[in-house]
Amino acid sequence: MFQVRIHGRGGQGVVTATEMLSIAAFDEGRHAQAFPSFGSERTGAPVVAFCRIDDKEIRLREPIMAPDALIIQDPTLLHQVDCFAGLKPDGYILINTNKSFEELGLADLVAGHRAERLCTVSATDLALKHVGRPVPNVPLLGGFAAISGLIRLESVIKAIEEKFSGKVAAGNIAAATEAYNIVRKEMEEAAHAQAV
């Protein structure tokens, strides 16, 4: 079973992101369970949502305390919330930022992690560019497809088409795709760097 936890703020589509992730997994014939942290959080407040993916029925209902992957939609949270709590060793981390982990002051925290599982992408910029609104959730899913290899970009695109339509869908697909490619590139560079 693969468990993903997404951190963000109210209004950034955190819950939607987990739902789309579950839809993408479902489209690939997997079982998936997406659920929010059931808060009454308002816009701007820290929000968490979860997604479990498995090949058999998922019965477990507890919150995800030991995630296999983290998506952090808003780097400003890093210093307010313990985003990394319970992250499995070698867990995946995808952060929406144009800085590096070092620049974010996370060097120590991720020391020993496999570099190709630590990626950043400035999803907000991509969203602004393609969708016209600063909603990083969808591009990050594209990035997650790349970093985790858990789901295919096509599935993410299908999920986007299920959730959105018209220009919004097209914009998000473009953004997700670009994010996907950016992350692929980062991973290759990281892998290459380690090889050296």
Binding stretches for another protein (CB under 8 A)? 18-19, 22-23, 25-27, 31-41, 45-46, 48, 58-65, 85
Q: Tell me phi and psi for residue 133, to 5 degrees.
A: -130, 145
* Nearer residue to another protein within complex by CB, 60 or 107: 60
Alpha-carbon 59 to chain mean position = 23
Residue from 58, 82, 59, 61 nearest 72 by CA? 82
| Cβ 47 to another protein shortest distance, Å | 10
| Cβ 174 to another protein shortest distance, Å | 24
- In angstroms, the CA 75 to CA 36 distance is 20
* Nearer residue to another protein within complex by CB, 81 or 128: 81
| Cβ 48 to another protein shortest distance, Å | 6
Residue from 52, 53, 83 nearest 70 by CA? 83
| Cβ 136 to another protein shortest distance, Å | 20
**Look-up: residue for tokens 């949502």?**
49
* Nearer residue to another protein within complex by CB, 35 or 184: 35
